[in-house]
Amino acid sequence: MSAVADAAPGRRRALLLMALALVLAMSPWFSATAVVVQLRAQWGFGDSVAAWLTIAVQLGFVAGALGSALLGLADRIPARRLIVAAAVGAALANAAVLAAQSPAQLLLARMATGACLAAVYPPAMKLIATWFVRGRGLALGTLIGAITVGSALPHLINALGGARWQAVIAWTTAATLAGAVVVAAGVREGPYPFPRAAFRFGDIGAILRNRGVVLASLGYFGHMWELYAMWAWFSTFALSAAAVAGDAVRASLLTFVVIAAGFLGCVLAGAVADRAGRARTAAAAMAISGACCAAAGWAHVAPLWLFLAIGMVWGISVIADSAQFSALVTEHGDPRTVGTALTLQLGLGFLLTVATIWVVPLLAAALGSWRWVFLVLLPGPLLGIAAMLALMRARPKTDHRPA
């Protein structure tokens, strides 16, 4: 099968088109976060509402993912149709920000955006996996990289568009619709579909007794503790850094470069993990991102070249391990409960991001500075490294290198 899969016609084209679609369709995730300074100036809200601009998307994503799993949407609706419909929904929800008349309406629009994106991101990963048997780690890493670039895109649009936050919302809405068109016109499922895997609450007990799945999930939770808070608040952190000195355009450009650099990390980690082992690759990525997390305080007062260097290494490493945790669950888990295990991992991981996204600006306010705030994220990679080392000790001979 592996030899046939390597020769499956159209798999590279499918991967390229899906990656392009995700760059476009995932752009609304941080569309409001990228212009939080302008929104605060217009609406006059404080740190709490600013944090909820991102938290609402996270909670909407969790609700959408769990709802989709419980309803079996991925099994009832062809993946391409589901992704297209959800991307159109995300575009409409993102555009609703322009019509919001109160912070409450703004937050509802953000939550609806997250709920719709929950039917874009996971089904896209599943669809592209139907094209790959060998090289799946690299393929999924490429898609995670595309999602990373899409998440960074609003910061680039913000920098190019100046202070007009409406332009960021309008362009990310158009990009999401374009992503839907790309999927509708050019992407189809591959020759190796997955069997039906419905969400079942009764499987949770068996999952919690599976040490490999638990350790892989703990690694993912440590990863998520760090990732989204870093993505959500790096622009604000950069804006107050000595090298940026309050220049909003420079802060937005730096944030785009730092987050988008994660594409390289995802692709490299995907290729390395297929050969060197997923747990080992994830642990190495978290060791690097944890070091950058600790060094961020010094970068805050460093010259521009050093600030950018530390930021880019952090951006590359903080997302590099993402796809490997899901792959580890599929490899350690019972095939009958993998769907439930992945849904549980995803839902709990995104719920966890609420805590750090909320805490970081509160800590900055308490300290009176953004310099050392990212130290609160350091326990995440430390937990993840410990979980991956335990996983490697549990099955040192395999560490999940594909045959």
Question: For residue 276, what pLDDT is reported?
Answer: 87
C-alpha span between 21 and 33 (Å, rounded): 21
Taking the complete model, does pTM exceed 0.75, yes or no?
A: yes
Distance CA 257, CA 381 (A): 22
Band the pLDDT of 395: cuts 50, 70, 90.
Answer: low
Q: Per-residue pLDDT for 224 more than 80? A: yes
pLDDT of 197: 61
Q: Which of 283, 276, 171 is nearest to 222 (CA)?
A: 283
Phi-psi region of 162 (alpha: psi -120 to 50; beta: other; left: phi over 0): left
Q: Which CA distances in Å does 62 have to 55, 319, 348? A: 11, 19, 8
All structural domains of the chain: 8-185 (1.20.1250.20), 203-397 (1.20.1250.20)
What is the overall mean pLDDT for the chain? 88
Q: How far apart are CA 89 and CA 87, in angstroms?
A: 5
Q: How many CB atoms within 10 Å of residue 348?
A: 14
Q: How far apart are CA 122 and CA 83, in angstroms?
A: 9
Cβ partners under 8 Å of residue 229, min gap 6: 353, 356, 357, 359, 360, 374, 377
Higher pLDDT, 94 or 51: 94
Q: Looking at residue 399, what is its pLDDT?
A: 47
Burial of 57 (0-12, 13-18, 19+ CB in 10 A): buried
> What pLDDT does residue 400 have?
44
Residue 234 burial by Cβ neighbours in a 10 Å radius (0-12, 13-18, 19+): buried
Report the C-alpha gap between 193 and 98 in whole angstroms. 40
pLDDT tier at 359, thresholds 50, 70, 90: very high
For residue 177, give the nearest of 18, 24, 14, 16 by alpha carbon.
24
The type of residue at 203 is D
Residue appearing with tokens 């549990």: 394
Query: From CA 112, how far away is CA 109, in angstroms rounded?
Result: 5
Region 284-291 average pLDDT: 97
| Residues across the chain | 403
pLDDT at 310 over 80: yes
